[in-house]
Homo-oligomer: A and B are copies of this chain.
């Protein structure tokens, strides 16, 4: 299905190239056309767009898409003499997405009324940290690290879509939890690798605590 779509769309950018060339005397290189097509898709995107998904969408090689995205970031950031736009392109939560540039967040806040959910409690934050660093992890294992019952907090995090049930241990029946891309998005990072490094601390101490 993806291949069919790709071949179908391979024609489109070519056609666009043609029209662009007509209107632009100097001729527009393919890579610029790629940037423009990416811009169009990002305009309707509701969530972060993966490079692979974008490449399939416009029928271009992944490497081209990566280059074009980098060029767009630089373009919007105004690093090469272009205006520094009121918006920016960010890689967050496993994909690319247009954001209002941070310095305009205040201006924008008065115009749109987004409903932000209540802040997470300290308990929820700490539990989230445990899951983020130790995933996949069972509720019993979280509880033994936190030294308290975490059922209701885990439910909160599930309800917020920040964690998900990764798998169920076939022997113990314990559900193991992992974090979601939504968490990455809400943290403003692109992958778990961007979490601060505290890993050396975390590999011991769980020994000997029953994974209830």
Are A123 and B46 in contact, with the CB atoms below 8 A?
A: no
Q: Is A80's beta carbon under 8 Å from chain B?
A: no
Minimal Cβ-Cβ distance residue in B for A116: B149
A45 to chain B, nearest CB (A): 7
Stoichiometry, as copies per complex, reads 2
* A160: contacting residue among B19, B43, B99, B148, CB under 8 A: B148
Taking CB atoms, residues of chain B closer than 8 Å to A46 are: 112, 152, 155
Taking CB atoms, residues of chain B closer than 8 Å to A104 are: 16, 36-37, 40-41
Q: Is A131's beta carbon under 8 Å from chain B?
A: no
A86 and B173 contact, Cβ closer than 8 Å, known pairs A9-B110, A12-B107: no
A1-20 interface mask toward B, CB cutoff 8 Å, 1 = contact, 0 = none?
Answer: 11001001100110010011
A119 to chain B, nearest CB (A): 11
A83 and B32 contact, Cβ closer than 8 Å, known pairs A117-B143, A140-B115, A147-B118: yes
Number of interface residues of A (CB under 8 A): 81
Are A147 and B123 in contact, with the CB atoms below 8 A?
A: no
Q: Is A133's beta carbon under 8 Å from chain B?
A: no
Name the prevailing secondary structure of the A interface residues: helix
Taking CB atoms, residues of chain B closer than 8 Å to A8 are: 110
A137-149 interface mask toward B, CB cutoff 8 Å, 1 = contact, 0 = none?
Answer: 0111001101111
29 CB-based A-B contacts, threshold 8 Å: A1-B110, A13-B107, A40-B100, A40-B101, A40-B107, A41-B104, A41-B108, A43-B100, A44-B111, A45-B112, A47-B152, A53-B111, A56-B114, A57-B114, A82-B82, A115-B149, A117-B147, A117-B148, A117-B149, A118-B144, A138-B212, A139-B212, A140-B212, A146-B159, A148-B160, A155-B209, A173-B211, A173-B212, A212-B212
Which 3 A-B residue pairs are closest in the complex by CB-CB distance? A39-B86, A40-B86, A40-B104
